[in-house]
A and B are shown apart, each in its own frame.
Chain A
Amino acid sequence: MDILVCVKRVPDTSENEIELNRAGNDIERDDLVYSVNEWDNYAVEEALQLADKTGGNVTVVTVGDEEDEEVLRREMAMGAKNSALISDEAFAGSDSAGIATLLKAYVQTHPQDLILTGVQAEDGAAQVGGMLAAMLDYPFASLVNAIEVMDGGKLKVSREIEGGNKEMNEMDLPCVLSIQTGINEPRYVGMRGIRQVASVEIPTFGAAELGVDKASVGKPAAKVERTDYFVPALGKGAEILGGSREEVIAKLIDLVKAKGGLK
């Protein structure tokens, strides 16, 4: 199977505290550590495992600019054969539908058997995969936590639903799946792997290469726009226990005891 995985470069929340900038219109982006969106990394691992079993190539694609090449290289270091950077000034300010429109154009010029996305991005909305599928008229399933290849060009796909239960589906190919964390254990990428792909040329696709009408994407076409970030006024919030660690522990034990939390 030829598999396309759509990935995104996002601020890494395990490395950063996300705060507002001084103007209050964006998050503070100086000194932010970026990485590949966590869900997308699981999607790439899943694609690599499926391609190992069935043959075929894995391609990683992102919409962005040169800065976003680093996540494509990282996923290539994991084992993705090909990569594509969808980039054009006209694409800036695209909403989820705009991003899906661009990915659709890429898929139409580079046919795939299977398309994977992460369930959502840290700064995203869990929309692009479902939109892309509808635009292509491919079947879609979200929150996928297991994939089994069946005979006859079909997949058996498990979705994570409430209470730890799993919803089992049979799906025709080609289809689009959004991948949930925990579906696999993404392989480790060492510095050596990164170095090996450091100078690989990453093909770039603009509006002309994709045959996309510039008016259908970017800020002018966006129906949805984030106007600013803010930190909501806190409610009561927790009572923060102060003092030395020893004092804090003593207070905590008293409180927990009073609430019946110590037998």
Chain B
Amino acid sequence: MTARIFAYIVHKDGVADDTATEMLTAAKMIDASAQPTAIVTCSGPELDTVCESLRNSYGEIWKVSNAALAYPNAELVRKALIAILPPACIVLLPHSHFGIDLGPGLSVKMKSASVSDVVGIQGVVGNCLKVVRQEFGGQVSSHVRCDISSGAVINLRPGAFKAVDGASAQGTIVDKSGEVGALSAGRRYIGTTVAEAGDVDISKEAVLVSIGRGIQESENVAIAQELADAMGASLSCSRPVVDAKWLPKSRQVGSSGQTVKPKVYIACGISGSFQHLAGIKGSPFMVAINKNVKAPIFQVADVGIVDDVLEFLPELTTKIRETGK
């Protein structure tokens, strides 16, 4: 029998994140007979709403109500978890901004192994859990062996595991609040600064010409803008373009930027990291133009063109202008 499995539920405004049911799938891949326990922390009425919503999918839900956990500060959540978790258990987390914050430190305090950004689970052999990860921006994958004899913290890539439908588990809610004392940490949440709206709301655009690192220089952004203008599209981008300050943050597609739902998405010189792809919803018709035939974007695009964007885009623009006349 494998160790007991827990899933930490990320939630917002009383609604559990999609990863809540994805973790259920992952738990079953670790141990087909697992009865994973959900853990929900917060305070106030939204905590109960979330716990109640999980009763369909989880057999047991541990609820921790604590005023200090009204906002999920990972430093405080870690202390709460350490207070309630049994030894040598397995904890599942989403590999999100929260899971990246919590997982590594939690594993240290649990004296357990820690694996992050897991995209596949192959199962347990003896004391070893075998998982799949990706490296170098998804260019290669790796098999990773993790000794779970003293437990493990496993960060799962959001979206990598298919959510299972509600199985009517009729789960019981167990109040663990009493086992968690007063919480404090050397990091205190002040507030959230909401992103400023940009000049163009790319989340509402039907056609996007999107540029990545392959655009190479600030001056070359104009090449893509000209194509967007000729097509009647808007210009968006991946993270490196914003890091280099060639376009404002409001134009960034991805988990740390905007979520877009276009009909057509033209990815120009974008490698296709999972953070970028996480921002593209609604299955648009996707065209990828990249000179690296191995770029992960070609695995998800509908149509691929292996070419240098700096040469290809101007010719495409010229042709579109001609046909438009």
Contacts and interface: CB of A to CB of B under 8 A. Distances in A.
A194 to B, nearest CB: 23
Dominant SS among interface residues on chain A: mixed
B163 interface: no
Contacts of B117: 125-126
Contacts of B325: none
Interface in A110-154: 119, 122-131, 133-135, 138-143
Question: In this complex, which of A119, A125, A129 has the most chain B Cβ atoms within 10 angstroms of its Cβ?
Answer: A125
B109 interface: yes
Contacts of A252: 287, 303, 305, 316
Interface stretch (B30-38, B57-65, B98-106, B165-173): B98-106
B160 interface: no
B139 to A, nearest CB: 4
A169 B194 contact: no
Nearest to B298: A238
A167 B294 CA distance: 35
Nearest to B120: A232
Interface in B206-254: 206-207, 213, 231-233, 239-240, 242-245, 249-250, 252
Contacts, number: 268
B187 A125 contact: no
A259 B264 contact: yes
B141 A164 contact: no
Contact of B303 (A96, A168, A238): A238
B116 interface: yes
A240 B298 contact: yes
Contacts of A262: 207, 231-232, 320, 324
Contact residues on A (Cβ < 8 Å of other chain), bracket: 35 or more
Interface residues of B, number: 96
Nearest to A254: B323
Given A162-B256, A230-B140, A253 B104 contact: no
Given A127-B114, A245-B307, A260-B263, A122 B231 contact: no
A253 to B, nearest CB: 6
15 contacts: A131-B105, A138-B186, A139-B185, A156-B190, A166-B192, A167-B192, A171-B188, A224-B115, A229-B140, A229-B141, A239-B303, A255-B303, A256-B287, A261-B233, A261-B285
Interface of B: 73-75, 78, 96-97, 100-109, 112-117, 132-133, 135-137, 139-147, 150, 185-195, 206-207, 213, 231-233, 239-240, 242-245, 249-250, 252, 255-259, 263-264, 266, 285-288, 292, 294, 297-307, 311-312, 315-316, 319-320, 323-324
